[in-house]
Amino acid sequence: MNYKLKVEPMGVEVNCDEDETLLDALLREEIKVKNVCRSGRCGMCKCLVTSGEVDHGDAGSDTLTEPEREEGYALLCTATPLTDVEIEVEESVF
């Protein structure tokens, strides 16, 4: 299944497969966002899910705490979409 991933404040929208991480979908479309480890351990790619639902995957509980998950945060490198998703991220300058 394919979902829409809307990225703010950039105002872009990309397609994201259900088995594709949010980060992989963004990088495939050459959208630069902060990321380092790509394994859920550094927290650099933490984003706020403002609409929709994600599966957090292998996000480490020390990197993405339960209270953060409840507030709507996710890691781009481990999260996969369960619905259409809207997120807020910091754009990378790299």
Task: Encode pLDDT of 48-78 as tens digits.
Answer: 999 999 999 999 899 999 999 999 999 999 9
Q: Which is higher by pLDDT, 2 or 60?
A: 2
pLDDT of residue 91: 65
CATH number at residue 32: 3.10.20.30
The domain total for the chain is 1
Supply the range of the domain harboring residue 25.
Answer: 2-88
Backbone angles phi, psi at 66, to 5 degrees: -60, -45
pLDDT one-digit tens code per residue, 6-43: 999 999 999 999 999 999 999 999 999 999 999 999 99
pTM: 0.92
pLDDT of residue 90: 78
In a domain, 35, yes or no: yes
